[in-house]
Structure 1
């Protein structure tokens, strides 16, 4: 294969990853905004944790935004859709209760961690700057997953239904974002 073609292909992948991750982090900021709105009424004890997670997601969004700006690449077309969808997901999941808040975070982070792992495998040999941006968020995302998993009430039918729905929705948003 032509090395120039390989480089262009890798650069295109890196830019798509950065754009989709930026939009996804915007969605995550808004998931927590929706959850925080409802948590003030039904789960006040979760507010500090949700607020901390949201601050991490804002920092993650900023990391990807900075890398996009450095490259002169505009954000993903799905950016605002991710924000609106994220808020709706956060708000609705919170209305389903404190365990559903945690289930939503676990499901989203499970999908994200899989995608981040794949992205790092593809980016490391071809685009170290993009790989560093992705690597900068992995530990926080794992922490969100693990801390939220501790809040999930095992065996609830609603949670068993909600988790695959959230995972499929997250996968779909990522798939669409990589193609827009």
Structure 2
């Protein structure tokens, strides 16, 4: 059975929920980084403010279209906060590895969305508006990640799979 909500609206809903997840990840990481990675707190606060702005961009577009937020919104919020607290407890490398894993998935999806949304200028503009900052988060996190062993690969694989799963679920509910 196909989803009756237009593709652009589903993408915007999932992106909005994903931005809530990102805000929550950073909130949890900031809380714990005050103990485990003080040198990253300012950067995490900056990233969180970017994600709050991204969330507002998608919310504004959903509101303009009269579309309700994604059913996965609270899953993203709660799961993101838990992930943020856990990786924040593990320290700077885990924080950076998590950001890198999430942003790799997000950037790949945003690139796909630019093609999918070519006929919807407003939705495309919302996606394009956030790509630069998402790329910045990726690149700065990559600078903190050292070539990892099995633990780093496990964390990256787990976070990437969880991110992909939430996006997949959000597009279907």
TM-score norm. by structure 1 comes to 0.92
User: What is residue 3 of structure 1 aligned with on the other side?
Assistant: none
Q: 1:88 aligns with which of 75, 82, 101?
A: 82
Q: Which residue of 2 aligns with 1:127?
A: 120
When the two structures are aligned, how many residues end up with a matched partner?
Answer: 170
Counterpart in the other structure of 2:55: 61
* Partner SS, residue 6 of structure 2: helix
In structure 2, the residue matched to 1:148 is 141
In 1, distance between residues paired with 2:62 and 2:114? 17
Unaligned runs of 5+ in 1: 1-8
Question: Residue 20 of structure 1 corresponds to which residue in structure 2?
Answer: 14
SS at match of 1:75: coil
How far apart are residue 82 of structure 1 and its match?
Answer: 0.5
- In structure 2, what is the Cα distance between the partners aligned to 1:144 and 1:155? 19
CA distance in 1, matches of 2:23, 2:160: 17
Query: How far does residue 153 in structure 1 lie from its aligned partner after superposition?
Result: 2.2
Structure 2, gaps ≥5 residues long: none
Larger radius of gyration: 1
Q: Alpha-carbon deviations, 1:90-131, whole Å to 9, x = none?
A: 11111222101000000000000000000000101x201000
Which residue does 2:165 correspond to in 1? 172
46, 55, 61: which one aligns with 1:52? 46
Contact preservation (8 Å) 2:36, 2:90: no
* 1:126-148: CA deviation from partner (whole Å, max 9, x where unpaired): 20100000000000000000000
Q: When the two structures are superposed, what TM-score results if normalisation uses the length of structure 2?
A: 0.96
RMSD value, Cα: 1.0
